[in-house]
Structure 1
Amino acid sequence: MSRPDRASAPLHRPTHVLVLGGTTEGRALAAALDGRPGLRVTSSLAGRVARPRLPVGEVRIGGFGGPDGLADWLRTEAVDAVVDATHPFAAGMSHNAALAAAATGVPLLVLRRPGFAPVPGDRWHLVPSLTAAAELLPGLGRRVFLSSGRQGIAAFAHLDGLHFLARSVDPPEPPLPPSLQVLLDRGPFTLDGERALLREHRIDVVVTKDSGGTATAPKLTAARELGLPVVVVERPPVPAGLPVAPDVAGAVRWLERSA
């Protein structure tokens, strides 16, 4: 991802930008906007990770209380533009942001990294949900690497005939599969590390979300090299009618036009 030169293109006027973040892109956008004269940037994190990586500048942690609460915050804090840089699977927050922006008339951009793209040799099985992934698993393998986030592990709790290896930043909460091993770790991950992980734990099927980005992509390469099937949960759509930028540079250009 290229980083824009924040000194070369100042925003048109003093403004307040709310970045709904918690992602690599959210932190990069806050850094790209940091220090621009007259610009206030507030990054908002959901607070679901115990020790989040904080962006530069002003940060708030916690929910807004639904779309109405977010709309009230936009009005109270005189926000001029919102960038939804949440995780591609944070559909609830994206929905609330769209409703709040529509209610207040505040311009809203979705900053969403491109999804993963299959290449020759991949054995992908695309499914619409984690529930569908759980239904498919018994026919694909017995030792499963769950790389789909700790909040989704409950979808596999009823599968007592499989062994699961799950990786997450924080410990998952019940319900959990009967046979589950948890690795507490945070990306980015290396290709060599992912190869070793899959071999050491004798993994024969991988489950992941189509989150995109480079931090967790090496597991897909490692799975391809080993000939393993990968169950890929498709990402939810962006709320209809909203502009979308694939990277930080595009988000900065949008802000320069909209603020």
Structure 2
Amino acid sequence: MEGKEEDVRIGAIMFSEGQPIGTAAQTHAKDYKEPPPAQLFEPAELRSWSFYRAGIAEFMATFLFIYVSILTVMGVVKSDSKCSTVGIQGIAWSFGGMIFALVYCTAGISGGHINPAVTFGLLLARKLSLTRAIFYVVMQCLGAICGAGVVKGFQKGVYDSNGGGANVVAAGYTKGDGLGAEIVGTFILVYTVFSATDAKRSARDSHVPVLAPLPIGFAVFLVHLATIPITGTGINPARSLGAAIIYNKEHAWNDHWIFWVGPLIGAALAAIYHQVVIRAIPFTSKR
């Protein structure tokens, strides 16, 4: 406890109240190495097998994620009695558990995004190039479409008669309610991603890279518990798009914009909050 108090005292002296906002964390020697910002365009990536391997990993991870999670949703909604199924809690565990497993499997290959909103947030923070971000989003969306398609192929009647796992704003809620739920839910997810993969945290706690998928999956689980009754929980535009395309009924498209606009706004806010407020990235370059 004494050590922590000493750290606080030294920090108060080192970073005085008079320092400009957004510069304090960059003005002293750091005990960790921050990866350099990614270039906006990296044409050399297009000639690298690792680039395409990462895209394939994103496709497969999103495919498996949608397949298992929507299959779980179908098992719940087709039952007359929710007591005989895993219920909302089981759906939330399905989504969160699959993210935990798949991020663990793919983090070393593609970063384990499995979500265009996560990719967008990391792009804004300059953690990857625009070239790679576009490729990831395309592969994620294709994976989601294929995952939902396989579920429909297994049980077409059940799929078509029970909503196909498509995201819609539930009765009793407004479009504004749905948009707000998607913004806040995605903010929680993307902020967790930034925190779990922070270079500073990894350098000071060697087990963090191993455990990083756990808080990310748990964040997905908790957000689903909160927002399934409102929107069915999107927070992942690829997941919403895949289900909407395969289900392809008019009411599935009426609110579809919410499941892109909400997650992208939430991801942008999380990126700004983490990079500017928490990490204090300088607004101006050093002279």
TM-score norm. by structure 1 comes to 0.25
Higher-helix-fraction structure: 2
Higher-strand-fraction structure: 1
Greater CA radius of gyration, 1 or 2?
2
TM-score norm. by structure 2 comes to 0.24
Q: Which has the higher contact order (CA 8 A, sep 6+)?
A: 2
